[in-house]
């Protein structure tokens, strides 16, 4: 279907073929902007194995208690219409306030509706938007075009390709290396509904590895599902830090601050100082949101690495916060002893002699004390990965091997110039683009909707300009 205002494709003029790999929020918003902006004959294809476009990992949850971690007023998917999500929510839900934290699945419905609206408004002939429900396995450059090989055997040719691969799964972690935990004792992918349906959680003791937002999501699901409630949940991470809570009535208009552009430590001192000056520390953290990408871009590589090693955990728990209702709920579970958060390193993990339990030894932070746990199930909640050696994404690994993408200087995600992908020789690959979590190492802030929506709009502008150059 063609977008409004676009020239219908003439028979003699083949369309400029844009293939977006990944149909989460990043892919869906790129398609929306391409279809809205184009004045040329454009064919937009999204390759995404999920049935629905626009949900991806974060918004495909079916759980009503998985809430957005940003108030409704901050979740517009359109950069130049800041009230867009709030207005949509007010049309579909009762009594929505700007400060409300709405269910993530409702946000998924919003993104799907946005794409559907653009497609419905389009004119004939149809066919300029297609969802191919498949997985890309490999890609190579052949002259001016890209050839993509799909898992189902199909080969698709593209003039421009967008990598919107999003939150990538991790390989089996080191702490499992020697241990062949049986499937009934270990869940590697905490998002796999199929895997959860194969294990017994009712009355079980569960160890969650990780204490970030993924772990919080899983604790909520486990304790709210009345038929499968575990007896006790332990959550372990090196620092044992849970995400902090948002204010119950978050400030929406936060005065912007500017980070000093020299060292990570100077920025930390500045943030601490500002936090002390404000009515609440969250105003300082939120105040630097607008300048974080620029600050990061100018930070020397050694400083970035040092930040990622020593400060990132602290930054993440203050920056990516829980909705107040969720934070209260988690606190209640801790208070009742049903959830115990442990700070330490996994030292040992073995099947018990009778093979029925997993015996775990955790070295507490500082190393002087050890804790022994006996659990029924271990769940990997280490969250999405971005380092090439730790990801489990054969397609991206193939691109690294082919030298079509290269790890960025902090070895986290890929190297880009703006939104254009750089190859192994450091050159811009014509018409190969990326956005979203893949750019986290380059921008620090590149995983959430407020950043993704700006990238998607800018990317569509770039691609439409290229399509114009090529076809005129
Ligand atoms: C649990 C969770 C909660 C979050 N909550 C919020 C929030 O409240 N507010 C906020 O602003 N941000 C939130 N985020 C940040 C979130 O990352 C972004 O909002 C957004 O979902 C990222 O979208 P994406 O499309 O880049 O990635 P994803 O959602 O990960 O989508 C990528 C898609 O690419 C597909 N894909 C991958 N490889 C291939 C391949 N080879 N071939 C074809 N398809 C492929 C996958 O199937 C997937 O659907 C949350 C993230 C998570 C993980």
pLDDT, tens digit, 9 for 90 and up, residues 284-322: 999 999 999 999 999 999 999 999 999 999 999 999 999
Can you give the pLDDT at residue 177?
Answer: 63
Can you give the pLDDT at residue 147?
Answer: 98
Q: How remote is the CA of residue 445 from the centroid of ligand 1, in Å?
A: 14
Can you give the pLDDT at residue 339?
Answer: 97
Choosing from 20, 21, 22, 434 the residue with most ligand 1 atoms within 8 A of its CB, the one to mutate for a pocket test is 22
Choosing from 55, 57, 77 the residue with most ligand 1 atoms within 8 A of its CB, the one to mutate for a pocket test is 57
Can you give the pLDDT at residue 468?
Answer: 81
**How sure is the predictor about 410, in pLDDT bands with cuts at 50, 70 and 90?**
very high
Distance in angstroms (rounded) separating the CA atoms of residues 316 and 383? 12
Can you give the pLDDT at residue 293?
Answer: 94
pLDDT digits (tens, 9 = 90+) for 172-205: 888 876 666 777 899 999 999 999 999 989 999 9
Q: How remote is the CA of residue 452 from the centroid of ligand 1, in Å?
A: 10
Residue 157 has pLDDT above 50, yes or no: yes
Q: Give the closest residue (by CA) to ligand 1 atom 32.
A: 166
Say how many Å lie between the first and final Cα of the chain, rounded.
22
Residue 122 has pLDDT above 70, yes or no: no
Find out whether 430 and 418 touch, Cβ atoms under 8 Å.
no
Find out whether 242 and 211 touch, Cβ atoms under 8 Å.
yes
Can you give the pLDDT at residue 406?
Answer: 96
pLDDT digits (tens, 9 = 90+) for 358-387: 999 999 877 678 889 999 999 999 999 999
Distance in angstroms (rounded) separating the CA atoms of residues 171 and 68? 27
Q: Give the closest residue (by CA) to ligand 1 atom 20.
A: 25
Residue 343 has pLDDT above 80, yes or no: yes
Q: How remote is the CA of residue 165 from the centroid of ligand 1, in Å?
A: 8
Can you give the pLDDT at residue 124?
Answer: 47
Q: Give the closest residue (by CA) to ligand 1 atom 12.
A: 448
Q: Ligand 1: residues whose CB is within 6 Å?
A: 21-27, 47-50, 56-58, 68-70, 104, 135-136, 164-167, 213-214, 217, 395, 436-437, 447-449, 452
Distance in angstroms (rounded) separating the CA atoms of residues 250 and 253? 9
| pTM as predicted | 0.94
pLDDT digits (tens, 9 = 90+) for 89-117: 999 999 999 999 999 999 999 999 999 99
Can you give the pLDDT at residue 367?
Answer: 67
Q: How remote is the CA of residue 15 from the centroid of ligand 1, in Å?
A: 29
Q: Are strands 186-187 and 377-380 parallel, antiparallel or unpaired?
A: parallel
Percentage of the residues of the chain whose pLDDT score is greater than 90: 77
- The predicted model gives 468-472 an average pLDDT of 70
The closest of 46, 28, 33, 27 to 6, measured between CA atoms, is 33
Distance in angstroms (rounded) separating the CA atoms of residues 434 and 414? 9
**How sure is the predictor about 125, in pLDDT bands with cuts at 50, 70 and 90?**
very low
Choosing from 51, 139, 166 the residue with most ligand 1 atoms within 8 A of its CB, the one to mutate for a pocket test is 166
pLDDT digits (tens, 9 = 90+) for 247-263: 998 988 898 988 887 78
Q: Give the closest residue (by CA) to ligand 1 atom 53.
A: 58
Give the chain's mean pLDDT. Answer: 91
Distance in angstroms (rounded) separating the CA atoms of residues 268 and 212? 21
Choosing from 448, 453, 459 the residue with most ligand 1 atoms within 8 A of its CB, the one to mutate for a pocket test is 448
Q: What is the dihedral of CA 216, 218, 224, 225, to 10 degrees?
A: 180
**How sure is the predictor about 355, in pLDDT bands with cuts at 50, 70 and 90?**
confident
pLDDT digits (tens, 9 = 90+) for 56-76: 999 999 999 999 999 999 999
Residue 5 has pLDDT above 70, yes or no: no
Domains of the chain in sequence order: 16-169+386-471 (3.50.50.60), 174-243+322-380 (3.50.50.60), 264-319 (no CATH)
Can you give the pLDDT at residue 35?
Answer: 92
């Amino acid at each position: 279907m063609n977008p409004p205002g676009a020239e219908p494709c003439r028979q003699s003029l083949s369309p400029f073929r844009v293939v977006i790999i990944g149909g989460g929020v990043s892919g869906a918003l790129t398609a929306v902007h391409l279809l809205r902006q184009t004045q040329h004959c454009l064919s937009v294809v999204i390759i995404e194995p999920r049935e629905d476009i626009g949900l991806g990992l974060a918004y495909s949850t079916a759980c009503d208690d998985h809430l957005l971690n940003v108030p409704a007023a901050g979740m517009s998917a359109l950069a130049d219409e800041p009230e867009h999500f709030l207005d949509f929510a007010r049309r579909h839900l009762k009594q929505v306030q700007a400060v409300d934290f709405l269910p993530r699945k409702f946000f998924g419905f919003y993104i799907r509706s946005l794409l559907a609206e653009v497609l419905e408004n389009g004119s004939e002939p149809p066919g300029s938007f297609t969802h191919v429900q498949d997985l890309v396995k490999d890609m190579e450059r052949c002259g001016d075009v890209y050839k993509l090989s799909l898992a189902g055997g199909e080969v698709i040719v593209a003039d421009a390709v967008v990598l919107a691969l999003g939150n990538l799964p991790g390989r089996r972690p080191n702490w499992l290396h020697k241990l062949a935990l049986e499937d009934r004792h270990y869940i590697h992918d905490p998002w796999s509904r199929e895997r959860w349906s194969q294990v017994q959680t009712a009355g079980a003791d569960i160890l969650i590895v990780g204490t970030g937002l993924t772990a919080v999501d899983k604790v909520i699901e486990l304790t709210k599902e009345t038929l499968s409630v575990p007896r006790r949940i332990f959550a372990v991470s090196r620092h044992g830090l849970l995400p902090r809570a948002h204010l119950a009535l978050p400030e929406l208009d936060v005065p912007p601050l500017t980070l000093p552009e020299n060292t990570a430590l100077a920025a930390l001192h500045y943030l601490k100082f500002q936090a002390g000056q404000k009515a609440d520390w969250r105003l300082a953290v939120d105040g630097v949101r607008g300048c974080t990408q620029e600050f990061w871009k100018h930070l020397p590589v050694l400083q970035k690495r040092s930040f990622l090693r020593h400060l990132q955990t602290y930054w993440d728990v203050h920056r990516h916060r829980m909705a107040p209702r969720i934070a209260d709920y988690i606190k209640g579970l801790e208070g009742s002893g049903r959830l115990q958060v442990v700070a330490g390193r996994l030292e040992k993990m073995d099947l018990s002699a009778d093979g029925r339990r997993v015996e775990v030894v955790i070295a507490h932070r500082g190393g002087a004390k050890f804790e022994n746990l006996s659990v029924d199930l271990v769940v990997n909640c280490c969250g999405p990965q971005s380092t090439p050696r730790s990801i489990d994404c054969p397609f991206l690994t193939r691109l690294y091997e082919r030298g079509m993408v290269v790890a960025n200087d902090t070895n986290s995600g890929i190297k880009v110039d703006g939104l254009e992908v750089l190859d192994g020789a450091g050159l811009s690959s014509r018409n190969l683009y990326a956005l979203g979590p893949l750019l986290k190492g380059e921008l620090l802030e590149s995983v959430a909707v407020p950043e993704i929506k700006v990238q998607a709009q800018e990317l569509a502008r770039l691609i439409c300009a290229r399509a114009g150059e090529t076809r005129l």
